[in-house]
Structure 1
């Protein structure tokens, strides 16, 4: 973030000493030269960072193949992709999603590095546990509907009995 601020705002401080208000051409030239050196140094740092950068998490197949490792894959259905991405992010797995266009139903293949197989199996195990818990959990709408039926049934059973007489 600081780099972005440095790129957008340029502050040039010139120490003029005793002269104070007088800015000479040589002073301005020296200040511009210093600023140019600073820009070149920043560019060199950015290039060095770009060489060592490796993407993490969800990425394209091209980026995953560039990392020179064997790939393994697992098939995931359409409605489970988001849940799987959350678990994969938790385990810091580098993966790529590829849609199978030939099948009628949307199927996705999750490609990951073969060396991450142990981590992937742990993540997939947690993912399957989550999905099984979601399936076991009853629907809130269904619960509301059942309670609504009970209440309406209870109201029908109630019969108001009023007697208009005085007891002595």
Structure 2
């Protein structure tokens, strides 16, 4: 009787072991399929990247690349406008020059969009320069002038007299 019970116990352990191994193999296969699916989705997403990219990614898309230099004053404005128009671009900083120069690389097929971006960018830069050229008087200087005026005004001294009445 003991032998029979021990045999059944051993068989049960073997069956559950096989089932567990099968389940682990199935789970690994499902994970592998899911991982491959995610890789494919990420690969497709990389192919459809828009906006700021590295030069390597831009050239890797195989659609031809053009470049131009821009000043260092309004790179943030350029990024905003280029992202608004959906232009793929890469910005490279040239550190060898004393005021650093920035070169913008963009896809050749985006030439029409980049001309619009450059028009908007130039308009924004000229507007900013005009605002900087316009001389506004300092508030501290105005305050100083008003202080001087107040100090130069005559003050009325109040006379206090006490008279004794009987």
Q: Deviations over 1:44-75 (max 9, x none)?
A: 21332244222322122111111112222221
Partner residue in 1 for 2:116: 122
Taking only aligned residues, the RMSD between alpha carbons, in angstroms, comes to: 2.9
TM-score by length of 2: 0.70
Number of matched residues?
A: 144
TM-fit CA distance, 1:130: 2.2
Map Cα deviations across residues 90-144 of structure 1 (whole Å, 9 max, x no partner). 22211111233453431111111121111112122222222233333368x9543
Uncovered stretches (5+) of structure 1, i.e. residues with no partner: 1-22
Mapped pair 1:164 → 2:164: no
* Paired residues for 1:4-153 under 5 Å: 24-52=16-44, 53-54=46-47, 55-137=49-131, 143-153=138-148
Q: TM-score scaled by structure 1?
A: 0.69
When residues 35 and 97 of structure 1 are mapped into structure 2, their CA distance, relative to the original with a 3 A threshold, is same
Give 3-state SS (helix, strand or coil) of 1:108's partner: strand
User: Which has more radius of gyration?
Assistant: 2
Unaligned stretches of 5+ residues in structure 2: 1-14, 162-166
